[in-house]
Amino acid sequence: MSGEVTELHIVDEDHNIFDTDVEYVIPLYQRAYAWEDRQLVQLIEDIQDVDEEASYYIGSLIVSKQSGRYEVVDGQQRLTSLFLLLNCLGVKVKPTLTFACRERSNYTLRNIKELLLEEQSKLDMDRIEAGIQRGVKILCHEIGKADFDRRTFLKKLSKVIVYRIEVPENTDLNRYFEIMNTRGEQLEQHDILKAELMSYLSDEAEKELFAKIWDACSDMTGYVQMHFVGKNNSVRETFFGGTWNELPSQNLQEYKKHMKEVENEESGCCIKDIIKEDFYIEDDEGYVDRETRVRFESVIEYPYFLLHTLKVFVALKGIKHENKDLKITDELLDDKKLIDAFNRVVFHGVYEAGRIGEHKEKFAREFIICLLRTRYLFDKYIIKREYANDSTEGEWSLKSLHVSGQQSKKKPYYKNTEFVRSGEWTSTNDRRTKTNIMIQSALRVSYTSPKVMHWITKLLVWLSEEDCKHIRNDDITRFDSIAEQIAIAAVKENFFRVCPRGVYAMGVNTPHIVFNYLDYLLWYHDRDGKKKYSDFTFEFRNSVEHWYPQNPSEGTFEQWKDGVDQFGNLCIIQRNVNSKFSNMSPEAKKSTFKDMISKGSIKLRIMSELTEKKGDKAASLYWKETMYRKHEEEMIGHLKEACEKTF
């Protein structure tokens, strides 16, 4: 029997993918449900981007029919997420999804309605699967946002399809699953884009040079310099100079000349040398393969980096849409529209030289140089996640690549990126580096989806302006203030302008950037004084919670209706914190989550410190009546002062 392919609509007028007699079982060899913020937010954004006039293919579901039920071989994370999403949207679904030999997961799915209603008194919380609970919370937060339109979302969801592919009978499922998870990469949009842009070039040497630069930039691990491989470091030094740390030239012809010389030097080895007992091939990349490429992790993947670079290129060249009423680039950075984004620039873009479509070869030459230079600036000035000394947690890092040794013995090492003026003592640099790390990491954890990381584009454009004039003129010392302006603009637009008459009561819809920028300000003011918050670091705290609970634990203390959503009563925490946090009193949270609070948001730490009883008044009552308001006034004061300052 050959495999069957069935087109499944997630929802339609009468039913949904789970509202049928078909049952799906997640086998034990599959890992537990593990999707978190990045994947779930991406799922919702993908659905929101669907064109209502056309079907949208969201992936495939590989199944094997076993005893009348479908055993899910591949695609279980997406399938489970869709099950949770439909429940969160209030769509009626049957209990047609189960996990083999995972009772906690099944108990959670069976009781998902109570979980959604937060009726925890009806649940045995010790039997709840944390991963599924976390997924529900993330999805509810996303669809609970003020600008979320449920009707429009469901209409777009009706256009979403998944292909169910049934494997042939007698398939060894364990072996098939292993192959599925170790299979090679499919052809990506950026591979197709590379071929398209190279086709604009007529010179074969330029095509080879284009491919070399593109391939080096496409590896987002480590630093781009280390992806240019050649004997005696000659290729690397062609692009980045003898120190491996010079801004690449904008002269493509210069590279062509040097690469020709390099090719002549690297003509191979003679047979008489190869047959010698002591012959070996020098591998100047050995150090990199073992350490550097797993040490630094980029905050974005290559397709998104291409979109950032395209926006940098458009800004630098002053490219406009031929139709003045249309934008040349989309607001969102959507990797699924990568080719469309480039085609719009190529076929509808105009600049000083005329229509780009009439100068495709020129566009390809200029873009590949822009890509190389932008990647160099990205590596040097945009934060990475660094995993040093076998660290599994990693930390935020802003380092530059340097070299030690001479000639073929050169080896890379890394030290803090410099933010000093010419002739200035470098002793002040560590503090500036730390400040840059803090403001960038505040932006990074505020905007978790790569589609909305516009702060990266803005910083890269500033760095690239007029042949990197800010770096040449020592303006790099104010790089942190440029990043801070991005945060301030977001706080003004999405918080102060939204809150009417100074009533800051957005509740859980308060933008994360408000909390994170406030934490940055509190850290910044403390850094040269008591250094009380010297241990603070920005993490993915993506859940806005009420300090005095919105729904107090049953029968313990009174509900607070008129001020519970005020900014002074809100904090931001990690979603994986015990769900009991939501309904506890402030003093219970303070004692129960002492360790979490001590390592958490600075605002949260302050709230905990302020939670004390006053005379005969319990700490919760005193917080609700008095302290939350004083806390809010102080915190809003910090934000207003920062938003009013000029740079």
Whether residues 163 and 223 fall in one domain? no
Condensed to tens digits (0 to 9), the pLDDT of residues 420-461 reads 888 777 667 889 999 999 999 999 999 999 999 999 999 999
Q: In the 8-state DSSP scheme, what is residue 11?
A: B
Hey, what are 220's tokens? 């987002």
User: Which residues touch 420 (CB under 8 Å, ≥6 apart)?
Assistant: 426, 428, 429, 432, 477
Domain check: are 605 and 525 in the same one? yes
pLDDT at 29 over 80: no
Residue by residue, what is the 3-state secondary structure of 305-323? HHHHHHHHHHHHHCCEECC
Distances (CA, A) of 201 to 206, 210, 331, 420, 569: 7, 9, 29, 41, 60
Which of residues 54 and 160 earns the better pLDDT score?
160
Extract the tokens encoding 516.
Answer: 């994170």
Residue 326 has pLDDT above 50, yes or no: yes
**For residue 223, what are the CA distances in angstroms to 122, 376, 384?**
53, 8, 10
Confidence (pLDDT) at 367: 98
- 214 and 165 in one domain? no
Alpha helices in 89-149 (DSSP H): 103-110, 112-116, 130-143
Calpha distance 85→162 (Å, rounded): 15
Q: What angle, 0 to 180 degrees and rounded to 10, lies between the N-to-C axes of helices 252-265 and 204-218?
A: 90
What CA–CA distance (Å, rounded) separates 311 from 598? 41
d(CA 326, CA 413): 46
pLDDT digits (tens, 9 = 90+) for 252-283: 888 888 777 766 554 455 555 555 555 544 44
Give me the pLDDT at residue 187, please.
57
Query: Which one of 378, 401, 430 terminates a domain?
Result: 378
Tell me, what's the pLDDT at 88?
Answer: 94
Better-predicted residue by pLDDT, 182 or 86: 86
pLDDT at 262 (0 to 100)? 66
State mean pLDDT over 363-377. 98
| Least confident range of 18-27, 277-286, 555-564 | 277-286
Indicate the number of domains in the chain.
3
- Predicted pLDDT at 265: 54
pLDDT of residue 21 exceeding 80: yes
Q: Are residues 114 and 223 in the same domain?
A: no
- Could you tell me the pLDDT band of residue 106, with boundaries at 50, 70 and 90? very high
Which residues share a beta bridge with 165? 5, 62
Q: Which of 322, 346, 378 is the last residue of a domain?
A: 378
Structure-model confidence comparison of residues 422 and 361, the more confident one = 361
Whether 342 and 264 map to the same domain: the answer is yes
> Distance between CA atoms of 144 and 50, rounded to whole angstroms?
20
169 in the same domain as 132: yes
pLDDT at 289: 39
Tell me: do 96 and 196 sit in the same domain.
no
Q: Is 447 inside a domain boundary?
A: no
Quote the pLDDT of residue 294. 61
Structure confidence by residue, pLDDT tens digits, 110-150: 999 888 887 666 788 888 898 999 999 999 989 988 889 99
The residue that leads in pLDDT, 427 or 157, is 157
Dig out the tokens for 236 from the structure: 């690397």
Regarding whether 328 and 292 lie in a shared domain, the answer is yes
| pLDDT tens track for 50-101 | 877 778 888 888 888 888 899 998 889 999 999 999 999 999 999 999 998 8
639 and 577 within one domain: yes
- In this predicted structure, what is the pLDDT of residue 98? 93
Q: Model-level pTM? A: 0.78
Domain assignment present for residue 115? The answer is yes
Burial class (CB in 10 A: 0-12, 13-18, 19+), 221: middle
Across the range 558-566, mean pLDDT stands at 89
pLDDT at 119: 66
Residue 578: per-residue pLDDT = 65
Residue 429 falls within a domain, yes or no?
A: no
pLDDT, position 285: 39
Please state, in angstroms and rounded to a whole number, the distance separating the CA atoms of residues 499 and 641.
Answer: 17
Indicate if the pLDDT at residue 337 is higher than 70.
yes
3-class secondary structure for 140-185? HHHHCCCCCCHHHHHHHHCCEEEEEEECCCCCCHHHHHHHHCCCCC
Q: Give the Cα-Cα-Cα angle 214, 218, 224 (nearest 5 degrees).
A: 90
pLDDT level of residue 12 (50, 70, 90 thresholds): confident
Terminal CA-to-CA distance of the chain, rounded, Å?
71
Residue 190 has pLDDT above 80, yes or no: yes
Q: What is the pLDDT of residue 180?
A: 54
Domain final residue pick, 161, 180, 199: 180
Q: What is the mean pLDDT of residues 340-357?
A: 94
Could you tell me the residue range of the domain that residue 154 belongs to? 5-180
The whole-angstrom separation of Cα 123 and Cα 321 is 57
| 481 domain-assigned | no
Is there a domain that residue 414 lies in?
no
Of 26, 15, 40, 27, whose CA–CA distance to 136 is shortest?
A: 40
Answer yes or no: do 224 and 146 share one domain.
no
What percent of the chain has pLDDT above 90?
61
Span 496-544, pLDDT tens digits: 999 988 899 999 999 999 999 999 999 999 988 888 999 999 999 989 9
- Looking at the DSSP assignment, which residues form a beta bridge with residue 99? 26
In a domain, 413, yes or no: no
174 plus 222 within the same structural domain: no
**Is the same domain home to 130 and 12?**
yes
Residue 295 lies in a domain: yes
Q: What is the structure's pLDDT at 273?
A: 55
Q: Is residue 467 part of a domain?
A: no
